[in-house]
Structure 1
């Protein structure tokens, strides 16, 4: 702020200035006319039309680099066969550590990062279907929906820590490469904590749902009578099916595809398992094509093949799947002696008794206004062991997307959610570590995800320019709220900068909960938001 004593000399200086009126100019027409050159004054022949840029020349740099540049391949390939011959625990730890390296590497041209997006550029934040040349964006296989927009996984997953979410500057702008549509959609990067547990929840839900269908078919065929059966798993209803022996009607199914496979990843619930998520992101966001995706072909025209080996994808899958669970500030407060001063400041610790009471009251309000009907506080995984590849047929590759079976893993790597999480080793008063999942009375794992892995219609306010995945333009998978206190901005495109905004954007199936939120007192809203802010991401340094 400028003090008043500075204003007097400035004003005096201004008042002392004298101004001279500008000369009167003749009317020469448009103010842009002075830049025009009469046709009669133009001299010389018209310059020749430039030839289209030869994009293939750019990728000759790879041969130049390999012929004698100092730079090297940054991502060393992992051998799948070697992983499968190791001791199981040794293989898991090795894959996790190698996956960590692959996640953080800034890949370069020698690794095959990027694709041809015109004018010699490898990266773009916007889809380029207009580039239709023989080695251009639109002809890359598999067809692209976006980017590539980065040279590392961590470049989009780093808020507030590694493997976290991303800000709006990291939003992915997408199109549907398989059909024409108007407009584009945006995707905010989600955090990756607890991914393996989420897949295990989905696997068990799928088993339960498909078993209900199969039993209904068997009963109907045996009795000769038709029946309507509710399809539900882990307390989540997906509507009902009508069965007349082998004829199954899915018209009243809700929030899931007719194959009854729970797909827990992406904002629309389009991807079923971690491995598919990893190789899809590598292709779309980085332009790093896995061998299992395209075989030995150079399908992105960058002179590099086998950019990510089967072992590389396994390592990245294990690394992502074995991420620690999100935690709460109350938990961090219980191990506050293990935290440094910066961490205490980041998470607003220590918590007072009043803070804890406010959080606990907010949790009760969360349930009372029916938020928990979709954001289910917890689910139990009966079998807490994650296998890669999965033991469940719907969550592994029977053949690779490239169409071959060569190189398919023959032995599963595995880890236990209760005992084998490597990050966040601080011991809680209960005896479990901060990274491990809590054991249930039945020996399973309690997954406090605050979600239901079901799609819901969220109303017109959130409807998108086009219907990605053909699930409905306003239909989205329930976002798991664990970690929400660390992952602003909110919603699928980061449009909500505060939690209150995120709630107020709810409509459709969530309209009633939004109206109940609006009816809360300011004190009740404050407690509810304090509870949500208590759900955080933490990664020990």
Structure 2
């Protein structure tokens, strides 16, 4: 499949990005540089499919040193950082490089999916501990690979929720100024509570009662700690960390003052247009579905299990679905920080109308016409361990100042296709990962543990129907 895609791109675009004088041209990835300029404006279905073809080719491409893979004088840190010494080896399972292709880890059950334990990655906060050669948790956090299916809908939900929360803060400040008194408001968006804020007439905001969101009120829906704002940020981070393919929007001369920050002899390894193609493909991956088993007994058990899942309080965090107002995906997005392009950095962002995609038409809508995104999550961080149950508290580093025992609610859609489980991929059964819950999930976990074996089995039967089903 990769050969077919790359051949198609060569026919469509010629050998852009391939040095004609290089006798080793066949070892370069033809999909890099297949489009020269970042897309802008509303994209037709044909234009979107065109971008998706290139994005898929980039996602499955095996990057080589002829493309600029490798970073001898740059670390895996999310901000451009020089190592204390040049890297002695190209590949390292600890701090990377650790993969030739994005699909080396994201492949279960299809390209764009999750990864088994063998595909775990090691990451630190990226500011101090970027030169390490051990898997000891004292130096890094070990994480499993999440799937990307439905991720465009996830980002759209996060953007709408961010707008809601920021608007509530703005109104609170306005009311406090008008009334001359402190105003305490509940932050609620899409029926999910993120605590309270108190605005005062002098323009100050007390943020001490926030719950599950950063102080800037930006919902960051990606990564198991909920610290990545967008698919674009994730792509720029991961391409440097895992492949040593450096996006010019962060590692180029504008931010680092150097044309070749990692000093590997290659400039502009990933252009903004390359990143845009990768984002377009990821954002348009189909949402996982609820699979219908052919076995009648399984069907009956799963239906009852869904009821138990709700009765035990699991849906208080793993919300069955959240409403989405708009299917227009803007790239670059509105709230990314410096080092990742956002809407303020371009004259006009690209707009991908996801409603043009066939799989979107199967999603349910509520009475208000909103798309119901069946994510089984809430895009909120929760404390997930307690003194009685610390199985999920095995990280020693906080990430972006998020507590070590706090994690983003895992979206369960696709769960039946992406074993093993847990943020470290070290639970082999659904029963085990449910029993590992503590903290905010303690009461639901207790209900599960105290239930008859038949009811527990029915919940597992239900969870195993949440699958990634892509025929093509």
Compute the TM-score of the two structures, normalised by the length of structure 2: 0.84
Per the TM alignment, residue 137 of structure 1 is displaced from its structure 2 partner at its CA by 7.9
Pair 305,409 (structure 1): closer, same or farther in 2 beyond 3 Å? same
Conservation of the 8 A alpha-carbon contact between 1:291 and 1:308: yes
State the match for 1:226 in structure 2. Answer: 182
Pair 67,205 (structure 1): closer, same or farther in 2 beyond 3 Å? closer
Per the TM alignment, residue 351 of structure 1 is displaced from its structure 2 partner at its CA by 3.2
Conservation of the 8 A alpha-carbon contact between 2:303 and 2:462: yes
Question: Does residue 272 of structure 1 match 2:229?
Answer: yes
Per the TM alignment, residue 86 of structure 1 is displaced from its structure 2 partner at its CA by 9.2
Q: Which is worse superposed, 477-486 or 106-115?
A: 106-115
Conservation of the 8 A alpha-carbon contact between 1:161 and 1:538: no
Report the aligned-residue RMSD: 2.9
Conservation of the 8 A alpha-carbon contact between 2:43 and 2:352: no
Cα distance in structure 2, aligned partners of 1:252 and 1:290: 38
State the match for 2:95 in structure 1. Answer: 146
Conservation of the 8 A alpha-carbon contact between 1:292 and 1:402: yes
Alignment of 1:407-446 (within 5 A): 408-417=345-354, 419-421=355-357, 436-446=362-372
Per the TM alignment, residue 156 of structure 1 is displaced from its structure 2 partner at its CA by 0.5
Alignment of 1:163-178 (within 5 A): 163-178=112-127
Give the secondary-structure state (helix, strand or coil) at the position aligned to 1:92. Answer: helix
State the match for 2:8 in structure 1. Answer: none
Per the TM alignment, residue 492 of structure 1 is displaced from its structure 2 partner at its CA by 0.8
Cα distance in structure 1, aligned partners of 2:32 and 2:215: 41
Pair 472,173 (structure 1): closer, same or farther in 2 beyond 3 Å? same
Q: Equivalent of 1:517, from 422, 429, 448?
A: 448
Cα distance in structure 1, aligned partners of 2:43 and 2:314: 45
Question: Does residue 91 of structure 1 match 2:47?
Answer: yes
Residues 458-517 of structure 1 deviation map (CA, whole Å, 9 limit, x = unaligned): 113322111122110111000000000111111111111111111111111111111111
Pair 123,183 (structure 1): closer, same or farther in 2 beyond 3 Å? closer
Per the TM alignment, residue 89 of structure 1 is displaced from its structure 2 partner at its CA by 2.9
Conservation of the 8 A alpha-carbon contact between 1:202 and 1:263: yes
Conservation of the 8 A alpha-carbon contact between 1:291 and 1:307: yes
Residues 29-63 of structure 1 deviation map (CA, whole Å, 9 limit, x = unaligned): xxxxxxxxxxxxxxxxxxxxxxxxxxxxxxxxxxx
Cα distance in structure 1, aligned partners of 2:446 and 2:43: 55
> How many residues are paired up?
428
Question: Does residue 456 of structure 1 match 2:382?
Answer: yes
Cα distance in structure 2, aligned partners of 1:271 and 1:439: 28
Per the TM alignment, residue 244 of structure 1 is displaced from its structure 2 partner at its CA by 1.2
Per the TM alignment, residue 448 of structure 1 is displaced from its structure 2 partner at its CA by 0.5
Question: Does residue 485 of structure 1 match 2:422?
Answer: no
Cα distance in structure 1, aligned partners of 2:398 and 2:83: 24
Pair 528,89 (structure 1): closer, same or farther in 2 beyond 3 Å? same
Give the secondary-structure state (helix, strand or coil) at the position aligned to 1:414. Answer: strand
Pair 442,312 (structure 1): closer, same or farther in 2 beyond 3 Å? same
Question: Does residue 156 of structure 1 match 2:96?
Answer: no
Question: Does residue 386 of structure 1 match 2:333?
Answer: no
State the match for 1:472 in structure 2. Answer: 403
Give the secondary-structure state (helix, strand or coil) at the position aligned to 2:205. Answer: strand
Residues 275-334 of structure 1 deviation map (CA, whole Å, 9 limit, x = unaligned): 11111111111111011111152222221111111111000001000000001112xxxx
Cα distance in structure 1, aligned partners of 2:167 and 2:94: 35
Question: Does residue 508 of structure 1 match 2:439?
Answer: yes
State the match for 2:281 in structure 1. Answer: 319
State the match for 1:302 in structure 2. Answer: 264
Pair 376,116 (structure 1): closer, same or farther in 2 beyond 3 Å? same
Gaps of 5+ in 1: 1-63, 139-143, 331-348, 425-431
Per the TM alignment, residue 123 of structure 1 is displaced from its structure 2 partner at its CA by 12
Q: Equivalent of 1:372, from 315, 331, 341?
A: 315
Cα distance in structure 2, aligned partners of 1:532 and 1:403: 37
Q: Equivalent of 2:294, from 342, 350, 366?
A: 350
Conservation of the 8 A alpha-carbon contact between 2:290 and 2:466: yes
Q: Which is worse superposed, 149-158 or 296-305?
A: 296-305
Cα distance in structure 2, aligned partners of 1:95 and 1:359: 38
Conservation of the 8 A alpha-carbon contact between 2:42 and 2:350: no
Pair 403,385 (structure 1): closer, same or farther in 2 beyond 3 Å? closer
Cα distance in structure 2, aligned partners of 1:328 and 1:404: 35
Cα distance in structure 1, aligned partners of 2:199 and 2:299: 50
Cα distance in structure 2, aligned partners of 1:131 and 1:86: 41
Conservation of the 8 A alpha-carbon contact between 2:138 and 2:396: yes
